[in-house]
Chain A
């Protein structure tokens, strides 16, 4: 069988990174960075999610087909977010239509 068994030290390294990132995001939330607070919080969340997906969920070692399906799902999520927000965020741009 060609299944890939990830050694535990990889899991422990990812775990340590996730805990450090959690402490970081909580600590940074007390600093006033203006609009950057949200950017940093979401950036750290994406980083944590990526670590979980690649290593805990083995996607780094998964077949190409699985990886394409996941990328496709995220692309649909991007469509959902982009089209809806392009409506809501631009409603004030043309005062005549209010």
Chain B
């Protein structure tokens, strides 16, 4: 099926020029690149894992304060942003698919769509952060929280800003990576014979999506059923 298109002989720029001398074949080079990205992503799993662990420890200690604080997050914006990131993962997957088939225009369009969706996510995040500043929910001297649970609620918001902030930083880096891909794709750099940069950048983008898939329920959804 689709394999036939991908196994067609490399054409144009995508030929042996792209094979580094220390690899036996394009396939070996491709697998090595994917493996390298996955080794990096494993370190990222443990990096975010430490933050999720800190969240678990504090939430188990202050479950009601965390639920109370969680209700100050906007569930509509959170759900919207989750959908935006999932759509961006779809467009990213389609960009990789287009690259594998050597459809230059489609690669660029899907990459630009992915970047636009990433930008939308960050825009919504900026709106949410602004609301938190207005509501005095940013940890520090200006933090105000009604009730006796102000201190543990401040811990919740410290984790909220650290985790979503680092996630947003990863998104910004991802948009930077995609910008390079668009510029290279415009030059016709990617085709069936060589599209490894699109493939491994896709792995990174999907990973950042997965981090949000866990952040969303743990930050936004834990206090909704109370009251």
Contacts and interface: CB of A to CB of B under 8 A. Distances in A.
B interface, over-half SS: helix
Nearest to A72: B42
B126 interface: no
Nearest to A62: B34
Contacts, number: 149
B73 to A, nearest CB: 12
A11 B97 contact: yes
A8 B94 contact: yes
Contact of B49 (A11, A48, A62, A81): A81
Given A41-B217, A49-B214, A69-B35, 5 more contacts: A2-B7, A3-B27, A32-B226, A56-B202, A73-B46
B225 A5 contact: no
B217 A29 contact: yes
A32 to B, nearest CB: 4
Interface residues of A, number: 52
Contacts of B57: 84-85, 88
B6 interface: yes
Contacts of A32: 225-226
Contacts of B180: none
Interface residues of B, number: 56
18 contacts: A3-B7, A5-B100, A8-B94, A18-B86, A18-B89, A25-B217, A29-B222, A37-B222, A48-B210, A49-B210, A52-B89, A52-B206, A53-B206, A73-B45, A76-B42, A81-B49, A81-B53, A89-B60
Given A6-B97, A7-B1, A84-B57, A41 B221 contact: yes
B56 A56 contact: no
B27 to A, nearest CB: 5
B86 A22 contact: yes
Contacts of A57: 202-203, 206-207
